[in-house]
């Protein structure tokens, strides 16, 4: 009898445990039902499509095949068949609109894997969940069924490429990151400018950029980084294959210095407004902007291929409210003529007036409670995306907004219905939310990597809040944070490049002799912070000048900078120098470099010699009667792909190159 009771209790405990288990993924599942047992995922297999679904799903199936190879080394082919399938991964379209909607899916793990949805995007999101299942359950996937769909239809990220250029490779990496976390919108802010207080109030010297190729206005496109029309078309198609909609933005009539630099006649004659304001009294301004938008929207193969275009309409001088409202209505109507949905920043609460602006059929990026809050936008008939600056704006290395989002507070308190201290009722026209990264302080040394380490945690957090909804009662923030730290960026993407262990780049004791053009290739391309890199080095009496000691995809580490014996590094066109130490001739020296998100430190023979951090430039802002600052960022993602350089390499000896992680 006692054995019977013990066995019964044991079985009950197993049953309770099984019911309690929910697979950990980001974003969290809406519904999960456990089955008994685990599925041992085969390293080889087939992804099966029905012939009737193959045209829609083949690209997604091939993407899954590629991702399985990239993440786990698994070999899965894609097969189209209408016969019975006993095993493998089965992707199939359903007509069950009510259960799945446009983005929902069912993922069943039993004796095989089945993903069912109404749309390609639903299938795609199911494959992202499957990849996380495999990654987070390496000993076998818990059998069961997920029926999953998002709380909000708009889940996005806006990147300011106007004031800081990001390569197309970076943008594509972010598409893959967004997709892996089921974020479906990527707004590209294509033009913007810095502020004149840092150029002695000279607008002509203030930085501005427009990042797209323009054939109608030769010379308009930024010379320090831009995208061709075909690159941008291909980028949007690439994003669509990952379930991500690209929303291009041309920001007018303020933040338009790139256009007034190109043609000064477009600038507002009232100098009080600033040279970055277009003159709304001039027909020439309308002709210019009409023609610019038409360049990207017209023809059989338009540059802006998606269904939404953002027209800016942000922070114009309040004295011109009526003209601003006229301008806004003009471009809402203009964009609609091309069959597109216009998005606007939403400034009409602050820019109140008698001129009618019809927001029905438009989307408002509601970014500031004063300029236009959520409820005002909804009452005006718009669909709305919450981009509340108080909670969702990242501006690196400034003393306003967020350097990093307050993730714990957002996880425990924020929903898309909240703007400042006002929480509105749920509304079907509140589509969701988007966080934004702005690069206000042009020239402060912020790199794409620095932007990434701020934005990637925000992607993870917002993805969970916008897909799953409030989940802190089921999963406390600390548990969620640990899951975020464990979960990769995306298949084939590791921008962070933080070393996961200690690496001996060279064999212990091995001396590498470099003659100035010798190159040693390493297995690691680079390491991201927090890290340390140690090496021993000996320089000859007559070393090479500005010699590349370490070279990588995004940076160089230099010896004998300007023939001074000093170390330096270069990244994104900026050079930083360690002035406190000069490498002597014919003596072995032990060098240790430590990097974190605030700066870079050099140690010589175990002694901290110099820290690059804290350099500040301060100016007086006469417009606002205050001092403004730029906090320079002297960070380094350490290059490791090559020791030496084929043209400008180091002459001397190096040994015992070791790389490792450091605690935050």
The CATH number linked to 104 is 3.30.379.10
> Please, are residues 662 and 506 in contact by the beta-carbon 8 Å criterion?
no
Domain termination residue (choose one: 451, 486, 521):
486
Check pLDDT > 80 for residue 9: no
Q: Tell me the mean pLDDT in the region 447-476.
A: 97
Cα(505)–Cα(399) distance, rounded to whole angstroms? 39
Within-domain flag for 111:
yes
Domain termination residue (choose one: 129, 148, 167):
148
How many separate domains does the chain show? 3
Percent of the chain with pLDDT over 90: 92
Within-domain flag for 493:
no
SS3 assignment, position 618: strand
Cα(16)–Cα(371) distance, rounded to whole angstroms? 52
Segments forming the whole domain that contains residue 99 = 2-148
Taken in order 391, 392, 396, 400, the sign of the CA dihedral is negative
pLDDT, tens digit (0-9, with 9 covering 90-100), for 260-287: 999 999 999 998 899 999 999 999 999 9
pLDDT, tens digit (0-9, with 9 covering 90-100), for 299-329: 999 999 999 999 999 999 999 999 999 999 9
Within-domain flag for 236:
yes
> Please, are residues 214 and 155 in contact by the beta-carbon 8 Å criterion?
no
Mean pLDDT of all residues belonging to the chain: 95
Each residue of 128-140: b (16+ CB within 10 Å) or e? bbbbbbbbebeee
Residue 258: phi and psi, rounded to 5, are -60, -35
For position 664, what pLDDT does the model report? 64
Report residue 242's pLDDT band, with 50, 70 and 90 as the boundaries. Answer: very high
Cα(396)–Cα(280) distance, rounded to whole angstroms? 32
Residues 585 and 642 in one domain: yes
Percent of the chain with pLDDT over 70: 97
Residues 470 and 536 in one domain: no
Cα(371)–Cα(244) distance, rounded to whole angstroms? 28
Cα(636)–Cα(535) distance, rounded to whole angstroms? 17
643 is written with which tokens?
A: 């020791």
User: How far does CA 50 lie from the centroid of its chain?
Assistant: 35
Partners of 155 in the β-ladder: 433
Within-domain flag for 384:
yes
Count of other CB atoms within 10 angstroms of residue 409: 11
Within-domain flag for 495:
no
393-394 vs 44-49, strand pairing mode: unpaired
SS3 assignment, position 473: coil
For position 283, what pLDDT does the model report? 98
Q: Tell me the mean pLDDT in the region 128-154.
A: 97
Within-domain flag for 492:
no
Domain termination residue (choose one: 96, 124, 148):
148
Q: Tell me the mean pLDDT in the region 97-116.
A: 94
Residue 373: phi and psi, rounded to 5, are -85, 175
Report residue 13's pLDDT band, with 50, 70 and 90 as the boundaries. Answer: very low
Q: Estimate the crossing angle of helix 54-72 against helix 229-241, to 10 degrees.
A: 90
For position 2, what pLDDT does the model report? 46
Residues 376 and 307 in one domain: yes
Q: Tell me the mean pLDDT in the region 127-136.
A: 98
Check pLDDT > 80 for residue 209: yes
Residues 132 and 189 in one domain: no
Check pLDDT > 70 for residue 19: no
Q: Tell me the mean pLDDT in the region 204-216.
A: 97
Cα(589)–Cα(660) distance, rounded to whole angstroms? 19
Cα(306)–Cα(308) distance, rounded to whole angstroms? 6
Least trusted range by pLDDT, from 11-15, 20-24, 366-370: 11-15
CA distances for 215 relative to 228, 232, 295, 296, angstroms: 10, 14, 8, 10
Residue 200: CATH number of its domain? 3.20.20.80
Least trusted range by pLDDT, from 273-282, 358-367, 621-630: 621-630
Residues 298 and 339 in one domain: yes
113-117 vs 589-595, strand pairing mode: unpaired
Residues 162 and 141 in one domain: no
Check pLDDT > 60 for residue 1: no
Residue 299: phi and psi, rounded to 5, are 90, 175
Contacts of 518 (CB under 8 A, 6+ apart): 644, 649
Q: Pick from 203, 194, 215, 211: which is nearest to 250 by CA? A: 211
Residues 383 and 475 in one domain: yes
Cα(144)–Cα(117) distance, rounded to whole angstroms? 17
How many residues does this entry show for the chain?
A: 664
Residues 371 and 470 in one domain: yes
Residues 141 and 161 in one domain: no
Q: Estimate the crossing angle of helix 229-241 against helix 168-180, to 10 degrees.
A: 20
Count of other CB atoms within 10 angstroms of residue 220: 21
Contacts of 226 (CB under 8 A, 6+ apart): 165, 209, 210, 211, 212, 213
For 168, what's the count of Cα atoms within 13 Å in the CB-facing half-sphere? 15
Q: Pick from 384, 383, 404: which is nearest to 393 by CA? A: 404
349 is written with which tokens?
A: 């609460």
Check pLDDT > 80 for residue 221: yes
Count of other CB atoms within 10 angstroms of residue 86: 6
Each residue of 44-71: b (16+ CB within 10 Å) or e? ebbbbbbeebeeebbebbebbbebbeeb
Cα(401)–Cα(433) distance, rounded to whole angstroms? 17
> Please, are residues 75 and 66 in contact by the beta-carbon 8 Å criterion?
no
Q: Pick from 126, 237, 255: which is nearest to 180 by CA? A: 126
Cα(327)–Cα(357) distance, rounded to whole angstroms? 9
pLDDT, tens digit (0-9, with 9 covering 90-100), for 501-557: 999 999 999 999 999 999 999 999 999 999 999 999 999 999 999 999 999 999 999
Secondary structure element (H or E) that encloses residue 34, with its range: strand 32-39
Contacts of 271 (CB under 8 A, 6+ apart): none
CA distances for 419 relative to 415, 571, 605, angstroms: 9, 38, 53
Check pLDDT > 90 for residue 414: yes
Residue whose entry in the numeric block shows the structure tokens 């930024």: 222
For 536, what's the count of Cα atoms within 13 Å in the CB-facing half-sphere? 14
Check pLDDT > 80 for residue 4: no
Residue 635: CATH number of its domain? 2.60.120.200
Residues 232 and 90 in one domain: no
For position 98, what pLDDT does the model report? 82
For position 346, what pLDDT does the model report? 84
Taken in order 288, 290, 296, 298, the sign of the CA dihedral is negative
Within-domain flag for 497:
no
CA distances for 562 relative to 75, 308, 575, angstroms: 51, 51, 12
Residues 158 and 197 in one domain: yes
pLDDT, tens digit (0-9, with 9 covering 90-100), for 25-62: 999 999 999 999 999 999 999 999 999 999 999 999 99
Residues 106 and 158 in one domain: no
Beta strands in 516-625 (DSSP E): 519-521, 526-527, 531-538, 547-551, 556-561, 566-571, 574-577, 589-595, 600-604, 607-612, 616-621
Q: Is the pTM of this model over 0.75?
A: yes
Burial of 306 (0-12, 13-18, 19+ CB in 10 A): middle
Within-domain flag for 299:
yes
């Amino acid at each position: 009898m006692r054995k019977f009771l013990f066995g019964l209790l044991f079985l009950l405990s197993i049953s309770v445990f099984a019911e309690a288990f929910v697979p950990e993924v980001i974003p969290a599942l809406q519904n999960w039902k456990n089955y008994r047992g685990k599925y041992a995922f085969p390293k080889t297999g087939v992804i099966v499509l029905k012939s009737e679904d193959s045209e829609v799903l083949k690209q997604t199936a091939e993407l899954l095949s590629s991702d399985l190879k990239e993440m786990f080394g698994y070999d899965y082919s894609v097969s189209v068949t209408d016969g019975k399938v006993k095993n493998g991964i089965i992707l199939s379209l359903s007509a069950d609109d009510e259960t799945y909607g446009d983005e929902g899916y069912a993922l069943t793990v039993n004796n095989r894997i089945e993903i069912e949805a109404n749309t390609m995007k639903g299938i795609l999101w199911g494959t992202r969940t499957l990849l996380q299942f495999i990654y987070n359950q390496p000993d076998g996937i818990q059998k069961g069924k997920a029926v999953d769909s998002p709380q909000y239809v708009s889940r996005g990220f806006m990147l300011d490429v106007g004031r800081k250029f990001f390569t197309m490779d970076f943008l594509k990496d972010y598409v893959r990151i967004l997709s892996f976390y089921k974020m479906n919108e990527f707004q590209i802010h294509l033009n913007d400018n810095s502020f004149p207080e840092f150029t002695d109030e000279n607008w002509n010297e203030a930085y501005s950029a427009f990042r797209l190729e323009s054939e109608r206005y030769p010379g308009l496109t930024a010379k320090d980084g831009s995208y061709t029309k075909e690159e941008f078309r291909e980028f949007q198609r690439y994003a669509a294959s990952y379930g991500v909609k690209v929303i291009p933005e041309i920001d007018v009539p303020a933040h338009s210095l790139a256009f007034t630099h190109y043609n000064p006649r477009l600038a507002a004659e009232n100098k009080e407004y600033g040279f970055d304001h277009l003159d709304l009294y001039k027909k020439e301004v309308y002709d210019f902007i009409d023609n610019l938008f038409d360049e990207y929207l017209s023809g059989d193969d338009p540059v802006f291929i998606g269904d939404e275009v953002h027209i800016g309409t942000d922070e114009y001088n309040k004295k011109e409210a009526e003209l601003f409202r006229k301008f806004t209505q003009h471009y809402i109507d203009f964009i609609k003529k091309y069959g597109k949905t216009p998005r606007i920043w939403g400034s009409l609460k602050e820019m109140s007036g008698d001129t009618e602006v019809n927001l029905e059929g438009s989307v408002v990026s509601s970014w500031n409670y004063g300029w236009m809050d959520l409820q005002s936008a909804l009452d005006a008939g718009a669909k709305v995306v919450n981009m509340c600056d108080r909670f969702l704006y990242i501006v690196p290395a400034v003393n306003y907004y967020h350097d990093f989002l307050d993730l714990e507070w957002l996880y425990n308190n924020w929903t898309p219905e909240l703007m400042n201290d006002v929480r509105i009722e749920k509304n079907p026209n509140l589509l969701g939310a988007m966080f934004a990264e702005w690069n206000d302080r042009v020239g402060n040394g912020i790199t794409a990597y620095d932007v990434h380490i701020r934005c990637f945690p925000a992607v993870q957090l917002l993805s969970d809040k916008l897909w799953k909804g409030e989940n802190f009662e089921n999963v406390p923030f600390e548990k969620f944070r640990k899951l975020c730290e464990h979960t990769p960026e995306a298949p084939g993407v590791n921008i962070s490049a933080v070393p996961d262990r200690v690496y001996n780049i060279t064999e212990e004791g091995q001396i590498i002799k470099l003659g100035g053009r010798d190159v040693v290739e390493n297995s690691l391309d680079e390491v991201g912070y927090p890290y340390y890199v140690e090496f021993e080095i000996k320089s000859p009496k007559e070393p090479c000048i500005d010699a590349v000691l370490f070279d990588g995809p995004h940076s160089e580490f230099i010896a004998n900078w300007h023939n001074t014996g000093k170390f330096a590094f270069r990244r994104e066109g900026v050079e930083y120098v360690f002035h406190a130490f000069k490498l002597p001739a014919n003596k072995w020296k032990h060098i240790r470099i430590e990097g974190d998100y605030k700066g870079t430190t050099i140690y010589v023979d175990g002694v901290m010699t110099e820290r690059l951090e804290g350099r500040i430039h301060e100016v007086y802002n006469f417009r606002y009667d205050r001092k403004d600052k730029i906090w320079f960022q002297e960070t380094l993602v350490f290059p490791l792909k090559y020791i030496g350089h084929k043209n400008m390499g180091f002459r001397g000896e190096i040994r015992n190159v070791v790389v490792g992680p450091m605690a935050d």
